[in-house]
Amino acid sequence: MAKVAAKIPTAVVAAGGLVGGYGVARWTKKRQLGGAVLAVAGAAAAQQWRQRAGGKAAGALTAAYVAAFAGSHPLAKKVGAWPSVFGVAGAVALASWAVADRRHP
């Protein structure tokens, strides 16, 4: 399982955690369940970021992941929930690709 997870780009894991966490929370009406999805994906991405790009990069990308989650809430009031989630997920995916995935096939 770890080998399969290592082949999934961290950009996909991080964006999937943000989109999936929101989707699960919305469709199940259980925010805690969505939070669990968000946390598990974030932890998996952080582990891969550390392996691929080092501790400092992993810390910065983890901070970006958390900031994206927090920032999606006020942004949603301006552009709507789903556009906000997709926007921040795209930003985190781009940062993740640039820092950790670009050099790892």
Extract the tokens encoding 48: 């891969």
Percent of the chain with pLDDT over 70: 93
Confidence of residue 104 (pLDDT cuts 50, 70, 90): confident
**Nearest-angstrom CA–CA distance, 14 and 77:** 23
Residue 5: predicted pLDDT? 55
Among the listed residues 75, 61, 69, 59, the one whose alpha carbon sits nearest the alpha carbon of residue 18: 69
Q: Which amino acid is it at 23?
A: G
Report H helices in 30-80: 31-53, 55-79
**pTM recorded for the entire structure:** 0.91
Which amino acid, 60?
A
Residue 2 has pLDDT above 90, yes or no: no
Q: What is the pLDDT of residues 39-67, one digit of tens each?
A: 999 999 999 999 999 999 999 999 999 99
